[in-house]
Amino acid sequence: MDLGYHTICWGGVVGDATGVTSVKDLYYRTPGSMETAISDISAAGYTGIEMFDGNVADYADQPDVLQGLLAAASLELVSVYTGGNFVYGDLLEDELHRVSRSADLARQFGARNLVVGGGARRASGTTEADYAALAAALDQVTDIAEQRGLTACYHPHLTTIVESPDELDRLMPRTRIGFCPDTAHLVAGGGDPAELIRRYPDRIRHVHLKDVRLDPFAFLPLGQGVVDFSDVRAALGEVGYDGWLIVELDSYEGDPAEAAQISKAYLEQLLAS
């Protein structure tokens, strides 16, 4: 399995302000330096990266710049992350327009995977119809990705309507999109990531690794929290997964390069054991 790292740690995540009034223009974006992130990820020994759609979009009119940075660092853009509400009918057309734009960018820069989060929690409460709407939207996301030679996968996420194992089970039978387990989000949602990998063996398309401390809550470099990565590794082997492992750490109190190095050393030990 190849090892990659998400650029989110170099500044966290924000959304474009224009998206408040124009959903079609709402991208995820890390406000830090992508040049620094790419250099640090390469220096830590990873061979791939994942980026938010907004950061890739910044290079749409100057593709040679990003391609040059990746080539100089000997890194592959493995995946692009996007998302949406996906439960509001009136917004869906514009949200899928943005997903299509993100998929176009992913293809332009050679990525293999389109990773999608989402499923809004309504102020009035989640309904069963929301899961049906989310599933139908994710099938359309899958079509968009496949039309561009990409693999689409869904990333369960805190604050969405797919946090817990029960919520994941309400969604997965209704959609054909792939599954991107995120070890820390699954644990924080009350699940066991290894068990959920074994529950959906034919749906695993991409994997996000991060650790978590539950009290006080914090996402952490690998090996510093409560995630049982030995069992996660065993489960991935049992289901025959041989794709990318992407470390995705939302933030770090110190130098993000240090966090990347900590997780890389832990992964090397884990995979060698």
Give tens-digit pLDDT for 14-62. Answer: 999 999 999 999 999 999 999 999 999 999 999 999 999 999 999 999 9
- List, for residues 106-126, the tens digit of each pLDDT value: 999 999 999 999 999 999 999
CATH number of the domain to which 102 belongs: 3.20.20.150
Q: Please, are residues 34 and 55 in contact by the beta-carbon 8 Å criterion?
A: yes
Q: Which residue range(s) make up the domain with 40?
A: 3-272
Give the global pTM: 0.97
Q: How many domains does the chain have?
A: 1
Average pLDDT of the segment spanning 80-96: 98
- List, for residues 236-248, the tens digit of each pLDDT value: 999 999 999 999 9
Long-range contacts of 215-224 (CB under 8 A, 24+ apart): 217/188, 219/184, 219/249, 219/250, 219/251, 220/249, 221/249, 221/252, 221/259, 221/262, 221/263, 221/266, 222/247, 222/262, 222/263, 222/266, 222/267, 222/270, 223/262, 223/263, 223/266, 224/262
Rounded CA-CA distance 49/247 in Å is: 9
Rounded CA-CA distance 254/216 in Å is: 18
